[in-house]
Amino acid sequence: MANSINTEILVPEAVSEGTQINWARNIQLLNRGLAAVRQAEEMTGQEIQTVIHIAQPENALWWYKEAFQNGIADFEWIGLSYYPKWSSVKMADLPQALDSLKKTYQKRIMIVETAYPHGLQNADSANNILGEDALLAGFPASPAGQLNYMTQLTKKVLEGGGEGVIYWEPAWISTRCRTRWGQDSHWDNATFFDASNGNKALPAFAFFDQKRYR
């Protein structure tokens, strides 16, 4: 339901982190969305799992508490973004944060957004969002460093009782297409493709291999 809703959904204009949430309004909108999913289940006869997505684990700790206090309806999954550049939670501490959320709210949990640069070179005119300030010690901005980040992060998620990791955005390669932010890609150094080598697939795809986590 929605995307990184640390503040509110369907606001008329941009709001910043720390803005007081109008929980009566926010919960009403979220619960109507969840109810629509249940109606779709009845109409199709198919089970549909729902996710409430919050950016960064430290925000989830207070957000879900307030959401339940204000009457959030049933949903199945806690979905989190985890970007070390913007999170105060160290990777080593991630299992504890996930375990706390899972046990407190009795929900399944996974990381639904994360990324790591495979290099620092810019392939086009659009500035890259993930630069040197996004790097962690021991994880260089290299194809091997990107794969190691994804592997170690996935291990930490599983250790904390999480069930999966989704990468964003592995295919945002440099093209002449336009987005809301302009032309080219702000993520070309954090995809799973090498812009300097004809967009050849990078080793990061190996993080999907479940044998790495047995």
pLDDT (tens place) for every residue of the chain, 214 residues total:
888 989 888 887 766 566 689 999 999 999 999 999 999 999 999 999 999 999 999 999 999 999 999 999 889 999 999 999 999 999 999 999 999 999 999 999 999 999 999 999 999 999 999 999 999 999 999 999 999 999 999 999 999 999 999 999 999 999 988 888 789 999 999 999 999 999 999 999 999 999 999 8
Q: Is 73 within the bounds of a domain?
A: yes
Please give the pLDDT value at position 179. 84
* CA–CA separation, 36 and 64 (whole Å): 21
Q: Is the CB of residue 86 less than 8 Å from the CB of residue 56?
A: yes
Q: Is 28 within the bounds of a domain?
A: yes
* CA–CA separation, 30 and 26 (whole Å): 6
Please give the pLDDT value at position 8. 84
Q: Is 3 within the bounds of a domain?
A: no
| Count of domains observed in the chain | 1
Task: List CB contacts of 208: < 8 A, sequence separation 6 or more.
Answer: none
Please give the pLDDT value at position 14. 67
By three-state DSSP, how is residue 142 classified?
coil
Token pair 């002449």: residue:
176
Residue 178 sits at φ, ψ, to 5 deg, of: -110, 145
Please give the pLDDT value at position 20. 86
What's the farthest any 2 CA atoms get from each other in the chain?
A: 52
CB contact burial 137-170 (16+ within 10 A = b; e otherwise): eebbbeeebbbbbbbbbbbbbeebbbeebebeeb
Q: Is 188 within the bounds of a domain?
A: yes
How crowded is residue 114: how many other Cβ atoms within 10 Å of its Cβ?
20
Q: Is the CB of residue 87 less than 8 Å from the CB of residue 65?
A: no
Q: Is 18 within the bounds of a domain?
A: no
Please give the pLDDT value at position 29. 95
Please give the pLDDT value at position 81. 98
Q: Is 150 within the bounds of a domain?
A: yes
161: its two tokens: 């009782």
Q: Is 81 within the bounds of a domain?
A: yes
Residue 113 sits at φ, ψ, to 5 deg, of: -150, 135
Q: Is 11 within the bounds of a domain?
A: no
Please give the pLDDT value at position 80. 98
Q: Is the CB of residue 77 less than 8 Å from the CB of residue 54?
A: no
- Domain hosting residue 184, numbered range: 23-213
Domain of 102, CATH number, reads 3.20.20.80
